[in-house]
Amino acid sequence: MIHTSDTFGVLREYEEVVVTGGAGFVGRHLVTALSRLDKKVTVVDHAVLGEDIASLPGVRHVRADLRDYGETLLALQGADAVFHLAGNASGTLSVEKPRHDFHLNALATCNVGNASLELGVRRLVYLSSAIVYGTPQHAPIREDHPTGPFLPYGASKLSGELTLRSLHRTTGLPAVIGRSFVIYGPGEDPRQAGGEVSQFLRWHLNDLPIPVVGDIDRKTRDFIHVDDLCRALITLADRGTDGEIYNLGSGTDVSMRELAEAVTRATGRPARLEADNSSLEDSFTLVADISRLTALGFKPQVTLDAGLTALAEELGRFPELPTAKAVFRREPPPRRRLAASPGAAEAVASC
């Protein structure tokens, strides 16, 4: 948890802060953290704010469609700093509706970047994703690892990155980018959240075996608690270098078996795994090299055991089961057959 006693130097100069997507999972935690730092926070989001956020001191709500440049300009008016979190966060949805995903992520980020430039915003922090790396070539992953997203979601997030970095190089836009690894914590929507931590706990707390898609031991992930992620984002706003990219993770990889063992420790009951090897596409090691982030003074504070224990207590017995699915491919629509050109039959016959 971030408090006013935490040391953030330059951030003190940013009084008016905008959080796009502030009604979402990460956004709610970030808005709370910024409010505790006595910032005036404008939440830009189509969704209705929960009372826990709407009642915070200094928080106001603006509804805007960031795909519309005019609405984006109005929403960001007066901002000293902008945290751009809004967009599609579902890889599955991006496979099903790639154009929709591109509009929400790439186009909206282009609009936020251009509006921030035009309005004289002093710092723009963009929350991207480690999915832009695609299948890792080595581990841990540094920020200079090649990018090769295998989902439209990764492509749209990378497009947003490229737009902001190009604006920085050509116009001096003060933008910094954070690539998050697997985020978990209280407040995730089980109908949308695909992260393993919340899913594992929800299955286990319902006394059910935990279905694991992929190789239980080879599939490893870097899990970062949402409180640590918010601390990292604020660190980027405060001390990050314009135009640079930073990995946002814990720096520790955890296999699916090790995660189940941590669930056992958090709940005091043995977790049962049910392997599903029908798809091994994401059975790789995804762990961040966070040395660039730690050089800014950031250090993860929430251990996986502590985060799981707190989350299990919050969820209680028999929480809603997760329904988010990981989809990597869909059946393409039928392709049109090419019509035979006039005289084609005669040409074939004369050969």
Residues near 337 by beta carbon (within 8 Å), at least 6 away in sequence: none
184/29 Cα distance (integer angstroms): 12
Domain assignment present for residue 138? The answer is yes
pLDDT confidence band for 348 (50 / 70 / 90): very low
Residue 206 lies in a domain: no
Residue 6 main-chain phi, psi, to 5 deg: -65, 145
Average pLDDT over residues 63-83: 98
Residue 205 lies in a domain: no
DSSP state of 208: -
Please report how many Cα atoms fall inside a 13 Å half-sphere around the Cα of residue 287, on the Cβ side. Answer: 14
74 found inside a domain: yes
> CA nearest 205: which of 325, 322, 323?
322
**Which pLDDT score, from 0 to 100, does residue 349 have?**
47
| Reported confidence tier of residue 335, pLDDT bands at 50, 70, 90 | confident
pLDDT per residue over 234-285, tens digit each?
999 999 999 999 999 999 999 999 999 999 999 999 999 998 877 777 889 9
Decide if 105 is inside a domain: yes
Report the domain count for the chain.
Answer: 1
Residue 26 lies in a domain: yes
Q: Label residue 144 left, alpha or beta by phi (over 0 means left) and psi (-120 to 50 means alpha).
A: alpha
Question: Whole-angstrom Cα distance, residue 69 to residue 219?
Answer: 41
- Note whether 230 and 163 are within 8 A (CB): no
User: Is 0.85 topped by the overall pTM?
Assistant: yes
Tracing tokens 């286990």 back to the chain, one arrives at: 204
Give residue-wise pLDDT tens across range 170-209: 999 999 999 999 999 999 999 888 899 999 999 999 999 9
Q: Over 70: is that where the pLDDT of 322 sits? A: yes
Residue 235 domain boundaries: 14-185+223-251+287-301
For residue 83, what is the domain's CATH number? 3.40.50.720
Task: Give the containing element (helix H, strand E) for 233.
Answer: helix 226-239
DSSP code, position 84: E
Give, rounded to a whole angstrom, the gap between the first and last alpha carbons of the chain: 78
